[in-house]
Chains A and B, each alone.
Chain A
Amino acid sequence: MIKRLLPLAVFFALVGLLLFGIEWNKHHEMSEVPSPLIGKPAPEFTLPLLYDSAKSLSRKELLGAPYLLNVFGSWCPTCQDEHPILTNQIKPLGIKLVGLDWKDEPDDAKRWIAQFGNPYDVLITDRDGRAGIDFGVYMAPETFLIDAQGIVRYKRIGMFTPENIRDELLPKIAKLQQSAK
């Protein structure tokens, strides 16, 4: 009897495994590559300001307070989708928001900002994408949470949504504020 039921059991085990796979896939983005930079110092960068290319901003100058580094481009439609969320939900958090205009023409970026508004505290440009490579950026938008010591604490791949701000970003920021006290 047991021997006869064995194939059926194997079949159901397989069905279970496949169902688990489907369920798991619903909650995980398979194309997301976890960043090896989490918990490590953010890479060095010195990049020109979008509105004054003669001046630049470096990693060192940003030390001392946590900040969000949002990688975007005027060519990126998802960044456009994310833009109102940056304005309405991220900016009110009071954390410094640095915009990294990635692989973009500065003039296009300025036009984009003029059209949609500027949620950023400061904007820097990475025209040839070198800094992006150092940060392991492979799509836009991507956002890094970097603490006061310059350590990467969190990376969001893709746009922020109210859900992942609530479930991921806010707890991470709260943790930073706790450890700062």
Chain B
Amino acid sequence: MSTQRRHIEAAPSPLSWLGGEGCDEGAGAPMWDTASNIEKRPLTLPSLPSKSRWGRGFKTAALASLLVILALTSFGTHAIDPLPFKDRAEEVRFQNLTRQLRCLVCQNQDLADSDAALAGDLRKQVFEMMRGGKSDDEIKQYLVARYNDFVLYDPPLKPGTWLLWFAPLAFVLAGAFALVRIVRARARAALAAEQPKPPTQDEDW
């Protein structure tokens, strides 16, 4: 327990160590973020009872660490700041839109889901632009102009992305072509085997 504890205290944000933010790896420039995480920082480990009660072996230790992890990650889910939606339709539109946008910090998370401080700023920006009467496309364009096509989960169809979009289709076609050829070759071989002459040489395969 004690090593785990030290780990958590040393980490800038306990959530990042537990993978709650899922994005402190890579890039050589970890982003243990700003304001929002600092606010979260008071959230340290709940104080544990004295050692003797927890020294009952691995099972108890495992259970305890599980509980700690659950406690911390469940706090993490509250980190996404609530926005003042005026009705359900607006909220649904916001959710739909932010699910199509990628968080630049946690690059495998969408904007709706990400706990990074920048994602919070971008959500706020998207929300304000929605309120300002911008269409979904205009909001996407705004972000693409700053962060590249990369912010869109679906890359746009253009010459530079043809390979990306159509390569899977090409692979399927190549596979189908190979399959047809093999099946035909085997059918021919089977036919030949039925002929009266002795089957000394079977098929190639």
Contact = CB atoms under 8 A, between A and B. Distances in A.
Given A128-B121, A133-B125, A35 B29 contact: no
A76 B204 contact: no
Contacts of B150: 33
A48 interface: no
A29 B147 CA distance: 16
* Contact-residue size bin, chain A (C-beta under 8 Å from the other chain): 20 to 34
Interface in A71-123: 73, 75-78, 102-104
B72 interface: no
Contacts of A31: 26-27, 107
Interface residues of B, number: 27
B31 interface: yes
Nearest to B121: A129
A158 B29 CA distance: 6
B17 interface: no
Contacts of A30: 26
Contacts of A141: 29
A145 B107 CA distance: 25
A58 B11 CA distance: 37
A157 interface: yes
Contacts of A157: 27, 29
Nearest to A74: B34
A33 to B, nearest CB: 5
